[in-house]
Amino acid sequence: MIILYNPRATKPRNRRFPLSIMALAAVLEGREDYAIVDGNLDANPVRALLDLLTRNRVELLAVTVMPGPQLAPAIEACRRVRAAFPHIPIVWGGYFPSIYTDAVLKASYVDFAVRGQGEETLLELLEALRGQRSLETIRGLSYKESGGAFRHNPERRMKGPDTFPWYPYHRLPVAEYIRPSFFGRRTAAHHASIGCPFKCSFCGVVPAYGSVEKMESPARTEAILRHLAQNYGVDSVQFYDMNFFLREDHARDLADRLAPLGLGWWCEARIDVMHRYSDATFEAIRRSGCRMIFFGAESGSDWVLKDMNKGLKAEQTLELARRIRQFSIIPEFSFVVGNPKDPERDTRECLPFIRRIKQLNPASEIIIYHYTPVPQRERMYGDVEGQVAFPTTTDEWATERWYNFTIRKDPATPWLNRATKRRIDNFRLVVSSRWPTVQDIRLPAWRRRMLRLLSGWRYRLGFYAFPYELRLTQRLINLRKPEAESL
């Protein structure tokens, strides 16, 4: 048996399909005996793992690991497994080992690390464990050699979703992953691509999953969503792709196919890409059920966007905010404020820019983060941005200081002084109170009115200092914050 483990990463109300584990299950289905343990679903996943290991002949424990919330549960489970079953090989895959490969291999409870796409690597690793091939022939695999040195095999070429089978939904209690949201009463998640052709300097997606985006065919996406709708009552979906719209012809074809399904949906897209789309394509996307699109605006200053290698102009963000309003699609703009080159100037220019967006399109949702760099493979343990030295072990990454850094809760970056950070935080508090996110479906209308009343004068006058009443009110009503939604 092969055990696929998804460590806990989120609260039950935010639970979605464990897509990375389901991708591995898809290639095992019908050819291997396997079991799935999902920490987001199982109240005691470590006990479930140990029970499976006790009752079955297990060949491999495969763990998917993202930075942040998943790391500590992954470490705890693997330590327990290693102590009780020292002969069971353990492999980590996913974003964390793809970027922090050496840190993962330093852990005594990990034997192998898979970099990038893991479906074929997993199958070949099973062959190697069974003596049918050598480890050296497996692309995308890193492991410890007999002398203790780390070996990193050549990269594996990424393949598009159409190459692999559908997710085996029948192997999961699907109803537990269908949750109510702003987009519908029964919302599922889907991933329709891999990779990203854009090379933003603050992002680690390209080093982990390649610089060529491989898209699922519109026909397959339609078929899968139709299956979910007809068999599980799904009425809405969130697409977790980095760039759901890459080509206009693909977007139009997909929109036309999704329209008959009657699904409400959300996705992520590039501002500069959609900026070029025709009104007819925008209308087709609206008609297909798209209710909200997340855009990484990042900054309101061209010099910051250039420094980030974003390939975007601030004016394009303003134009898209204005234009998309006529199609009744809500734009969700994300900003990364406090660029280390000049955090005070970046903040001074970005906050008024956000106000311009709200003036052009009041329905725009605003998400604000502090600038938090992501390590790249070529400068993994050096001084990033000249001032941040990243951890070299998984245990250090799991500490509170680096957990907060990873989730951008309180990154404590040295270039952002307290006064500037406080101004960013206060502005975010005022904006989120003046326009509480429409995605908070639990928030009654009267509480929305109360937040607007309390924050209206502050926003109108541009007075963000000392917003104690807003902080207390948001805490009392437990206002949902999209920037923390994955937790």
- Mean pLDDT of all residues belonging to the chain: 92
Q: CATH 3.40.50.2300 occupies which residues in the chain?
A: 2-144
Q: At residue 385, does pLDDT exceed 70?
A: no
Half-sphere exposure of 40 (CA within 13 A, CB side): 23
Give the pLDDT mean for 444-454. Answer: 94
pLDDT by residue (tens digit) across 22-62? 999 999 999 999 999 999 999 999 999 999 999 999 999 99
Q: At residue 308, does pLDDT exceed 90?
A: no
Specify the pLDDT at position 386. 66
CATH of domain 175-484: 3.80.30.20
220 is written with which tokens?
């397959």
Pairwise pLDDT comparison (222 vs 14), residue with the higher score: 222
Give buried/exposed letters for 429-460 (b at 16+ CB in 10 A, else e): bbbbbbbbbbbbeebeeebbeebeebbeebbe
- What pTM does this model have? 0.92
Specify the pLDDT at position 304. 93
Quick check: helix, strand or coil at residue 48?
helix
The span from the CA of 104 to the CA of 143, in Å, is 10
Q: At residue 379, does pLDDT exceed 70?
A: no
Domain 2-144 superfamily per CATH: Response regulator (3.40.50.2300)
Specify the pLDDT at position 382. 42
pLDDT by residue (tens digit) across 108-151? 999 999 999 999 999 999 999 999 999 999 999 999 988 889 99
Q: In Å, what is the CA distance from 400 to each residue of 99, 397, 405, 438, 448?
A: 20, 8, 8, 31, 33
Indicate the range of 202-206, 248-252, 281-285 predicted with least confidence. 202-206
Q: Using pLDDT thresholds of 50, 70 and 90, give the confidence band for residue 244.
A: confident
Q: CATH 3.80.30.20 occupies which residues in the chain?
A: 175-484
Specify the pLDDT at position 483. 67
Specify the pLDDT at position 350. 96
Closest by CA position to 219, among listed 260, 254, 263, 265: 254
Give the pLDDT mean for 304-322. Answer: 93
Contact 90, 110 (CB under 8 A): yes
Quick check: helix, strand or coil at residue 332?
strand
Q: Using pLDDT thresholds of 50, 70 and 90, give the confidence band for residue 287.
A: very high
Q: At residue 199, does pLDDT exceed 60?
A: yes
Sign of torsion over alpha carbons 261, 266, 270, 272: positive
Q: At residue 380, does pLDDT exceed 70?
A: no
Q: In Å, what is the CA distance from 115 to each residue of 63, 142, 154?
A: 13, 7, 10
Closest by CA position to 164, among listed 72, 286, 53, 28: 28
Closest by CA position to 343, among listed 313, 321, 370: 370
Beta-bridged to residue 266, according to DSSP, are 238, 292
Closest by CA position to 238, among listed 228, 249, 248: 228
